[in-house]
């Protein structure tokens, strides 16, 4: 691979630690002003060979360059220069773009030119869906967000996305003061809460009125062709059966929402809490059976064999919302039973969300010994992530085996973990580690790829995202985070073109490489959280 400069393509804030990387060659570097005068010079330091990247990497530190401006960074040994920006608001537009992606994913409503610009389109999927195996029973479940590059809507990953955005607002409310350009909600909500409410209203429609259980997903029977606009996807909509995973994560997310919306709309908050309590009661009277696609349904399964962490999250979230002892006892039972991670923030492994809820609940309704155990578990994992980052070529907490489908979600989840650790026990190491996940996302990676559409010198251009493929606009919808490198090569294009590539380089900006460059709401959501820290503090 040719020697190159790997740098955050948007830039850096003046006060942050600022590093860049060079592959294939060491030596000196220098930073110059626009008038050609030198600002800073230094020597690259070897990081070493990295198995995940297959590269010899060197690091340069330009933290002493703090004056706002645009500079040229030059590395004579490879004969290259790149532009370098330093500005306190360098991530402000990115933060808005990552948020607005959720608006572009709206289902069941027209995206008007006023708000969507050239990405506007007609309303889609407005007809009622029939309940699987009950063709005569039809339910209105319009609204919500298309999950990813397809047009399905799935409760389990939706709950993660909702939780990430609500946590981002709780931790960094000042980051959400500026509008992002979505329709007025009429409720005086910040845009992020208005957008989340759009998803929550859909989730409420997914709850069975009779039992309180929650349908797993609403999709067509099969994905439409990649070049299909949302309003042209006219396959029959079907509600897959109620599942334990959907019902438990629904309970957790709706209880979380009840706390946040109470200050804005007490009636809506009450709806959310009552729905969460009903869903939780359904879980207590049903076995934790994994979900499998029913016969004939070939859309995303979001199956999960281990469901004790979902129950833990639901109980902890309801404990935080209500303070009721029955939910605390359920948390204690979950700890005693074990068998799941207390710190993961994925869509399948959700124990970390339960831990966050328990740690942020009223201390009067928690148990001190359990609280301290959870705090230590969170910080121990944060320290592990810091140590892991120190051992990788680009300073990120991803080991070679972590480059899986959605590796960028894994990375941003870990950035989120580090920032929550910082709230528990302030440490510059945690903040630096989280910031490095942003640098990686924006170009400090093995491929010099900005993994966000519409940003950077080498942005994501050909995502696996049906509206971006099908519309008449040359550029893709902006603000979308790609899944990222995936060493498992789980699509035909990746298998054909990426054989024997190191894990961190197993990525293709190709519309058919769904296992590396599809987008998803629950990949954007941890990115919103992490970037919020560097916008709202």
Residue that has been written with the tokens 């979900």 in this structure = 291
For residues 63 and 155, state if they share a domain. no
What is the predicted pLDDT for the residue at 504? 98
Instruction: Please check whether residue 469 is in contact with residue 460, taking contact to mean a CB–CB distance below 8 angstroms.
Output: no
pLDDT value, residue 190: 96
pLDDT at 1: 66
Rounded to whole angstroms, the Cα distance separating 359 from 354 reads 9
State whether 376 and 268 are in the same domain: yes
**Is residue 379 domain-shared with residue 408, that is, in the same domain?**
yes
* % of the chain exceeding 70 in pLDDT: 99
State whether 26 and 76 are in the same domain: yes
Distance (Å, whole) CA 348 – CA 283: 17
Residue 276 is part of which domain span?
Answer: 91-443+518-533
Query: What is the pLDDT averaged over residues 82-93?
Result: 97
Position 185 scores a pLDDT of 78
pLDDT for 184:
84
301 is catalytic: no
- What is the structure's pLDDT at 188? 86
| Beta strand spans in 230-297 (E) | 237-239
DSSP state of 457: S
The answer to whether residue 507 sits within a structural domain is no
* pLDDT score of 24 more than 90: no
In a domain, 511, yes or no: no
pLDDT of residue 146: 98
Tens digit of each residue's pLDDT (9 = 90 or more) over 194-247: 999 999 999 999 999 999 999 999 999 999 999 999 999 999 999 999 999 999
Catalytic residue flag (residue 328)? no
| Cα gap 266→270, rounded to integer Å | 6
The model's confidence at residue 536, banded by pLDDT at 50, 70 and 90, is low
**Residue keyed to tokens 């995206």:** 111
Asked if residue 374 is part of any domain, the answer here is: yes
Instruction: Report, as an integer, the average pLDDT of 50-61.
Output: 93
Q: Which tens digits make up the pLDDT trace of 334-368?
A: 989 989 999 999 999 999 999 999 999 999 999 99
8 Å CB contact between 182 and 241: no
CA-to-CA separations, 416 to 8, 192, 367, 409, in angstroms, rounded: 19, 18, 25, 10
Contact 20, 62 (CB under 8 A): yes
pLDDT recorded at residue 50: 82
Instruction: Note the pLDDT tens digit of each residue in 417-462.
Output: 999 999 999 999 999 999 999 999 999 999 999 999 999 999 999 9
Q: Which of 65, 86, 107 is the endpoint of a domain?
A: 86
Q: What is the mean pLDDT of residues 46-55?
A: 87
Do 32 and 174 belong together in one domain?
Answer: no
* pLDDT (mean) for 476-496: 98
CATH of the domain at 376: 1.50.10.10
- As a whole-number percent, the residues of the chain with pLDDT over 90 amount to 96
Strand order in the sheet with 217-220: 134-139, 129-131, 237-239, 217-220, 153-154
Averaged pLDDT score across all residues of the chain: 96
Instruction: Check 464, 465, 471, 491 and give the catalytic one.
Output: 464
Same domain? 121 vs 146: yes
The answer to whether 518 is a known catalytic residue is: yes
Among candidate residues 191, 417, 518, 533, the one labeled active-site is 518
- We report the CATH number of the domain holding residue 41 as 2.60.40.10
Same domain, yes or no: 28 and 12:
yes
The number of folded domains in the chain is 2
pTM for this model (two decimals): 0.98
State the average pLDDT over residues 402-414.
98
Which residue among 50, 310, 509, 511 is the active-site one? 509
What pLDDT is recorded for position 2?
78
Mean pLDDT value of segment 64-73: 97
- pLDDT > 70? residue 87: yes
pLDDT digits 0-9 by tens, 242-292: 999 999 999 999 999 999 999 999 999 999 999 999 999 999 999 999 999
On whether both 74 and 182 belong to a single domain, the answer is: no
- The owner of tokens 């289902």 is 107
Position 25 in a domain: yes
Quick check: 149 pLDDT over 70?
yes
- Residue 537 clears pLDDT 80, i.e. is over it: no
């Amino acid at each position: 691979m040719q020697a190159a400069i790997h740098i955050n393509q948007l830039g850096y804030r003046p006060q942050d630690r600022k590093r860049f990387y060079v592959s294939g060659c060491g030596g000196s570097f220098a930073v110059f002003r626009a008038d050609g005068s030198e600002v800073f010079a230094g020597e690259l330091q070897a990081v070493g060979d990295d198995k995940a990247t297959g590269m010899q990497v060197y690091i340069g530190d330009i933290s002493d360059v703090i004056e706002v401006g645009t500079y040229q960074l030059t590395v004579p040994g490879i004969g290259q220069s790149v532009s370098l920006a330093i500005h306190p608001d360098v991530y402000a537009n990115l933060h808005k773009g990552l948020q607005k992606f959720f608006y572009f994913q709206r289902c069941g409503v027209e995206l008007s030119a006023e708000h969507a610009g050239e990405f506007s389109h007609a309303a889609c999927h407005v007809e009622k869906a029939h309940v699987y195996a009950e063709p005569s029973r039809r339910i209105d479940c319009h609204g919500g967000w298309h999950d990813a590059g397809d047009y399905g809507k799935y409760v389990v990953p939706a709950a993660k996305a909702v939780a990430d955005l609500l946590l981002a607002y709780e931790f960094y409310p000042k980051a959400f003061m500026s509008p992002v350009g979505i329709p007025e909600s009429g409720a005086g909500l910040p845009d992020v809460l208005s957008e989340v409410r759009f998803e929550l209203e859909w989730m409420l429609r997914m709850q069975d009125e009779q039992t309180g259980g929650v349908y797993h997903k609403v999709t067509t029977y099969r994905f439409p062709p990649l070049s299909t606009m949302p309003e042209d996807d006219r396959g029959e909509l079907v509600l897959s059966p109620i599942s334990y995973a959907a019902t438990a994560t629904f309970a957790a997310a709706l209880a979380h929402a009840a706390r946040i919306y109470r200050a804005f709309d007490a009636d809506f908050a009450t709806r959310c809490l009552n729905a969460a309590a009903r869903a939780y009661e359904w879980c207590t009277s049903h076995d934790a059976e994994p979900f499998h696609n029913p016969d004939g349904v070939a859309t995303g399964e979001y199956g999960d064999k281990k469901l004790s962490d979902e129950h833990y999250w639901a109980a902890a979230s309801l404990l935080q919302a209500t303070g009721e002892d029955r939910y605390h006892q359920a948390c204690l039972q979950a700890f005693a039973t074990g068998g799941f991670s207390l710190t993961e923030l994925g869509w399948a492994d959700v124990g970390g969300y339960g831990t966050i809820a328990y740690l942020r609940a009223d201390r009067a309704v928690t148990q001190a010994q359990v609280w301290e155990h959870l705090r230590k578990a969170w910080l121990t994992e944060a320290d592990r992530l810091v140590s892991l980052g120190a051992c990788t070529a680009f300073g990120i907490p991803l080991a070679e085996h972590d480059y899986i489908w959605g590796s960028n979600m894994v990375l941003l989840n870990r950035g989120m973990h580090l920032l929550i650790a910082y709230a528990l026990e302030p440490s510059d190491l945690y903040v630096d580690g989280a910031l490095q996940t942003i640098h990686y996302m924006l170009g400090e990676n093995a491929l010099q790829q900005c993994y966000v559409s519409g940003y950077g010198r080498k942005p994501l251009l050909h995502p696996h995202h049906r509206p971006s493929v099908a519309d008449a606009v040359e550029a893709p919808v902006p603000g979308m985070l790609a899944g990222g490198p995936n060493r498992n090569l789980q699509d035909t294009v990746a298998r054909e073109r990426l054989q024997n590539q190191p894990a961190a380089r197993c990525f293709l900006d190709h519309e058919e490489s769904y296992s590396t460059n599809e987008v998803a709401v629950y990949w954007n959501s941890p990115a919103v959280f992490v970037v919020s820290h560097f916008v709202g503090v």
